[in-house]
Chain A
Amino acid sequence: MTALPHPGLTRRELLKAGGALIVSFAIGAGRPAQAFDAPLLGNAADIGKPLALDEVASFLAVHEDGSVTVFTGKVDLGTGLRIAIRQMVAEELDLPVVRIALVEGDTALTPDQGPTGGSSGITRGGVPIRQAAATARAALLKLAAAKFGVPVNELIIADGEARMVSGGGRFNFGQILEGRRLALKVDAKAPLKAPPTYRVVGQALPRPDLPAKCTGRHVYVHDFSVPGMLHGRPIRPPAVGARLVSLDEASLAGIPGARAVRIKDFLGVVAEDEWAAIRAAKALKASWSQGQGLPGSEGLEQHVRASAVDHDETVAKRGDPAAALPRAERRLAARYFWPVQSHASMGPSCAVADVAADRATIWTASQATHKYRSAFARILALPEDKVRLIYLDGAGCYGMNGHDDAAADAALLSRAVGKPVRVQWMREDEHGWDPKGPPQLIELEASLDAKGAIAAWRTEMWLPAATKGMPNVPLLAPEAAGIKQELGLFAGLIGQNGDPPYAVADMEAVVHWLKETPLRPSNIRAPGKIANSFAVEGFTDELAAEARRDPLEFRLSALSDPRGIVVLKRAAELFGWTPRPSPNPERAAGKPAIGRGLAYVHYKHNENYVAIAMEVAVEPGMGEVRVRRVACAHDCGLVINPDALKNQIEGCILQTLSRTLHEEVTFDRARVTSVDWASYPILTFPEVPAVEIALLDRPELPPFGAGEAATTPVPGALANAIFDATGARLRTAPITAERVKAALLGH
């Protein structure tokens, strides 16, 4: 594989004199759809390309042949953003998607649109670019009108060309610009296409990266190399926070070219040959101080409940539940618990860094290249404009996995040896040291009125407090190397959706923000909201059962939001829901118990509406749960690409089934002990249910992302289905066979 800053891409100089944004290379219309090459552009500052969020040229470059390159600070993490943003631009410019190239997440070339997280790729990535494209379209029409010498209304734009309505001449965008620069501010009022006229948005166009991914040609950061590059491996201590006491470099004898790098307590090896680096990392003898700072995963629930509280926050309140609850006759209380979980990426994190005394270039799968550019400038003590982070695809991360840490490992090793260094973590590094989803404890109390409706409700959540003003999750390598960085906790917006989406007169949700949490946390898919919804939807089901009411009818009667009502009804219809209270009265002795459950979310109370119904079979003896089928109704507003959207929703459902059924990071007093796929199992193919999805397209509404919302109803629907099947209520994840068996025996 050739080594280019943008791998697999055409190395061509693109600029003509004067810093114009007219570029000289062609993205041929005849190319296959997968060859969405982007140019090697060099630094934005060198070529006069703006990066400001209010400049059209920050987002769009028009080439001589009329094709366009889009620049976005958001990245495609396997989510389909790569096609979705193209579709949004293609729609506004009337330019075929195959004539649009995309540059993602390169800090030197793309505007800082914030990290790619929180399902923000479409809303905060695509939507502003769409507005820039609409601005460009209006400008191109005016320029074309001048060129033709006719009023704008006698022109149309089609297929990337301005044409006379009456027929006659036509000019592509490059010909219209004639070498001039599109120096325009993004016009927030530039007219957007009307949804009924959409021709590209809403189409299930294939993703451009899949032909290369399915034939082994796609260049991941793992596959990238630069000349003279060494292979590096970090060596993490046997206990979290342990200090490096001594090092026996003679233990590397016999491994060609291997050398150890020690910076205070940061330890790594480098070698010319990757296998030599791996063997060296295993062979290197080092002695470390003891570490016993972790509470251990046994009994973690009690540890969390007893953890020191930093402050309390009431995140939702209506009426006076504290007064109403004691008055009620029918009251229920329950405690739900979600364990520590890993992002557990299929590919251990990887990065390539080339750090010199006065500059650094880092190729990384980071979700947040712009944010970590600042972090790396601080870590390496370099000016920000001398640090460049270039995004390359990694294995799916679902939040901040080890990718930024691997980049820091590579950067410190590269600086130490004066050569570019590629670091790929080993499996035990990823499972052991990726920042984790924190444990979540949720206690609920509610009452029913005489009619069997929810009268009052209180939620209490025990969650780690985010450290105010912390610029990024602290990284392992600089911490070990004694390089100053701001320490603290951040795990995303984990306090949301802990309050019920239903009509409750007296309701309150309180977060007890904790000072500490075991293991370093970070954002993991739908941060906090999977566990919070698990508790809210499981407890709602408990209340429905207490009231002897059908779980669907119980929810619908307490819901006024029409979009919420629609998704619940649609999911029930897709599933074939029969109204009756849980548990299922039909249970045949000796046979698997069959049950169905549902759950609903209005994500963050202001984004997507999702309802999921599922059917399970529970083996009465062993307690094993098999999910047979899942039906999901999903409303995220305007749908950009229905097939890529379904792919995301399917991923949300199956990954969360995995997290709910199997996943728990175990640790002792020193370190994580679930460090491979045997000790941290995930969902396998024989467990895969049938999945049906109904998309509710709302072209008149803004689009929201879909990488998270559909995860949140999954554990609730599953636990509710198990209750329906067996009468046993599961409130602790993972819902393992052992837990189900215990619940069945205890029932």
Chain B
Amino acid sequence: MRSNGRVRDGSDIRQSLTLPIPGHFVPGMGPFPLPQAGEGFLAFSRDTSRDPVARLRQSEHASWSGRILAEADMTTVELEVNGSARKVESWDPDAPLLYVLRNQLGFHGPKFGCGLGQCGACAVLVDGKLARACTVPLSAAAGRAVTTIEGLGTPEKPHPVQAAFIAEQAAQCGYCINGMVMATKALLDSNPKPTLEEAKGALAGTLCRCGTHVRILRAVLRAAGA
């Protein structure tokens, strides 16, 4: 993983479609190593050298403790979210995109699940590619187009993928469904007619705890027009 806080070259981004299940057995394929954060997704990393906390501690501002947020040095980042240009200010430019989306921009569709890139509950699209917002530094999203589940459709006018999930009643608690819908959108963008096994592979890194898997898979195939 490069440390420039940028998206890695497309060449070394593994298609989530063919992602083996980290740490799990795939029949005929043997066990795989435990997951690396962001595996199978667009990968980003933090540039720790510009961490405001570390910088401030090394500087004359070491007595900064107790300063309120309004007094913090803010970095402005421009990005596009769901088709609109947005300018966000953050005291930590490497804060995960997830918190910016949820708390500053009000997009609550992406959920905090693990903060480790293991579960997929926070999935968004960055420049059309699946990414885990809990591991994307805000700075890495600068100048990019971010799509959240809210950007796909609404309850009244759902996106075909969302409509398929609703038609199949493919949720229980629904906390993971953001990841399921976004991973399905990314799958169908690259493979409009996946087989059942391909659908399973595409969702391998997105976890569901309620056991709604059967319906979710039906929803993926329905969205593909199968």
Contacts and interface: CB of A to CB of B under 8 A. Distances in A.
B208 interface: yes
B115 A678 contact: no
A483 interface: no
Contacts of A207: 169, 171
B212 interface: yes
Interface stretch (A275-283, A458-466, A511-519): A275-283
A257 B92 contact: no
Contacts of A253: 53, 56-57, 62-65
A306 B48 CA distance: 51
Interface stretch (A367-375, A501-509, A648-656): A648-656
B53 A279 contact: yes
B91 A213 contact: no
Given A206-B169, A685-B217, A676 B174 contact: no
B209 A1 contact: no
B37 to A, nearest CB: 10
B203 interface: yes
Interface in B153-176: 153-156, 158-159, 162, 165-166, 169-176
Nearest to B91: A256
Interface stretch (B3-11, B17-25, B125-133): B17-25
Contacts of A656: 211
B172 A651 contact: yes
A676 B116 contact: yes
Interface in A391-428: 393-396, 398, 424, 426-427
B181 interface: yes
Contact of B211 (A426, A658, A681): A658
Of B65, B92, B181, the most chain A CB neighbours within 10 A belong to: B65
Interface string B70-95: 01100000000000000000111001
A275 B92 contact: yes
A612 to B, nearest CB: 14
Interface in B172-223: 172-178, 181, 197, 199-201, 203-217
Contacts of B159: 215
B169 to A, nearest CB: 6
B69 A276 contact: yes
B27 A214 contact: no
A654 B95 contact: no
Contacts of A216: 107-110, 148-150, 178
A213 B108 contact: no
A504 B104 CA distance: 65
Contact of B169 (A274, A622, A647): A647
B173 A396 contact: yes
B173 A676 contact: no
Contacts of B25: 622, 624, 626, 687, 737
A644 B215 CA distance: 12
A650 B218 CA distance: 13
B145 interface: no
A78 interface: yes
A217 interface: yes
Interface stretch (A308-316, A339-347, A727-735): A339-347
Contacts of A617: 27
Interface string A70-85: 0000000111000000
A643 B165 CA distance: 14
Interface string A550-564: 000000000000000
Contacts of B165: 210, 214
Contacts of A211: 155, 158, 166
B24 A687 contact: yes
A651 B68 CA distance: 46
A276 B110 CA distance: 19
B211 A650 contact: yes
A215 B154 contact: yes
Contact of A220 (B62, B114, B175, B214): B175
A482 B68 CA distance: 31
A215 B158 contact: yes
Contacts of B34: 678
A348 B103 CA distance: 17
In terms of DSSP, what is the predominant structure of the interface of chain B? loop
Contacts of A592: 27
Interface in B14-65: 21-27, 30-31, 34-35, 52-57, 61-65
Of A223, A395, A684, A687, the most chain B CB neighbours within 10 A belong to: A684
Q: How large is the interface on B (under 10, 10 to 19, 20 to 34, 35 or more residues)?
A: 35 or more
B169 A643 contact: yes
A348 B119 CA distance: 12
Contacts, number: 262
Contact of B112 (A1, A424, A690): A424
Contact of A1 (B106, B118, B153, B212): B106
A346 B57 contact: no
B207 A78 contact: no
Contacts of A356: none
Contact of B155 (A217, A219, A396): A217
A729 to B, nearest CB: 21
B185 to A, nearest CB: 12
A681 B24 contact: yes
B166 A346 contact: no
Nearest to A397: B173
A217 B26 contact: no
B155 A347 contact: no
Given A254-B52, A686-B21, A396 B207 contact: no
A654 B214 contact: yes
Contact of B166 (A206, A654, A685, A690): A206
A77 B171 contact: no
A394 B173 contact: yes
Contacts of A283: 53
Contact of B27 (A77, A249, A393, A619): A619
A272 interface: yes
A379 to B, nearest CB: 26
B142 interface: no
A213 B217 CA distance: 17
B68 A256 contact: yes
Contact of B114 (A427, A643, A685): A427
A34 B155 contact: yes
B207 A346 contact: yes
Nearest to A692: B214
Interface in A595-624: 617, 619, 622, 624
Nearest to B119: A677
Nearest to B99: A275
A683 interface: yes
Interface string A620-644: 0010101000000000000000011
Contact of A647 (B109, B172, B204): B172
A493 interface: no
A686 B204 contact: yes
Nearest to B149: A216
Contacts of A682: 207, 209
Contacts of B152: 215
A271 B211 CA distance: 36
Of B55, B176, B209, the most chain A CB neighbours within 10 A belong to: B209
B155 A684 contact: no
Contacts of B176: 346
Interface string A195-228: 0000000000011011111111111101100000
Given A276-B91, A651-B212, A677 B118 contact: yes
Of A223, A249, A686, the most chain B CB neighbours within 10 A belong to: A686
A624 to B, nearest CB: 4
Contacts of B169: 206-207, 210, 643-644, 647
Given A215-B162, A217-B150, A686-B27, 11 more contacts: A254-B57, A256-B69, A257-B67, A274-B99, A283-B53, A347-B113, A647-B169, A677-B207, A678-B34, A678-B35, A688-B214
21 contacts: A1-B106, A78-B173, A211-B158, A212-B155, A216-B148, A216-B150, A217-B155, A218-B174, A222-B108, A254-B55, A255-B53, A279-B53, A279-B92, A396-B209, A654-B211, A655-B210, A678-B35, A683-B211, A683-B213, A685-B199, A686-B21
